[in-house]
A and B are shown apart, each in its own frame.
Chain A
Amino acid sequence: GENVEQHPSTLSVQEGDSAVIKCTYSDSASNYFPWYKQELGKRPQLIIDIRSNVGEKKDQRIAVTLNKTAKHFSLHITETQPEDSAVYFCAASIGQAGTALIFGKGTTLSVSS
């Protein structure tokens, strides 16, 4: 079946450093790639997403890049803060219908002050 691989599984950084999380996907028909943040005991919430017709998208300290040829996309967080500590999930849409998502296994980001 289709698959999304996410690395690393854990990431520890100092406050102010940058953090990068990488994902690869297998379905060549995937065209929508969201990133979700899940704090402990809470529901996942969308932080940024990208469609396959663009290569990069930024929102303040967060950016996502997409390489369709390599089937690879990444989340970049700059100037990290302790409140960025959470589990981050990447996802890719399944097939041409595009509504269902397949998720990576998550990255636990810890930002220490």
Chain B
Amino acid sequence: DGGITQSPKYLFRKEGQNVTLSCEQNLNHDAMYWYRQDPGQGLRLIYYSQIVNDFQKGDIAEGYSVSREKKESFPLTVTSAQKNPTAFYLCASSIHSGGPWGNEQFFGPGTRLTVL
């Protein structure tokens, strides 16, 4: 299960506070992703990054922000603008061959965020 890690496993925050979730990978993958998982909703894409210093919004980017200053790291900040931030957050990474085909995404263990 090594290669992509997320910390912490559980996170509790008060309403109105910003919080940053960590995601690190040592797989030398170019692309990294953040998903939110809610019961019965599957995995919804928040942000993704194909190369350092570049990232794109997914379907539910509002209230979230990311940075990609290093290839190994893709932290996600949940801001106070996110209306319902309590959820399970999954980070993933994949190679980016530059060709037309998608590639397997490897997931981290997830962070469960609870906003009180």
Interface string of A89-102 (1 = CB under 8 A from B): 10101001111111
Q: Find A43's partner among B48, B59, B99, B110 (CB 8 Å cutoff).
A: B110
Instruction: Assess whether B94 is in contact with A99, with CB atoms less than 8 Å apart.
Output: yes
Interface residues of A in 1-46 (CB under 8 A from B): 1, 6, 9, 31-32, 34, 42-46
Tell me the complex Cα distance, A51–B99, Å: 13
Q: Is B102 at the interface (CB under 8 A from chain A)?
A: yes
- Determine the chain A residues whose CB is within 8 A of the CB of B31 once the complex forms: 99
Q: Find A102's partner among B50, B59, B100, B110 (CB 8 Å cutoff).
A: B59
* Partner-A contacts on B (CB < 8 A): 1, 31, 33, 35, 40-45, 48, 50, 56, 58-59, 90, 94, 96, 99-105, 107-110
Residue pairs across A and B with Cβ atoms less than 8 A apart, 12 shown, are: A6-B42, A9-B40, A43-B107, A43-B110, A93-B101, A98-B99, A98-B100, A100-B48, A100-B56, A102-B59, A103-B43, A105-B41
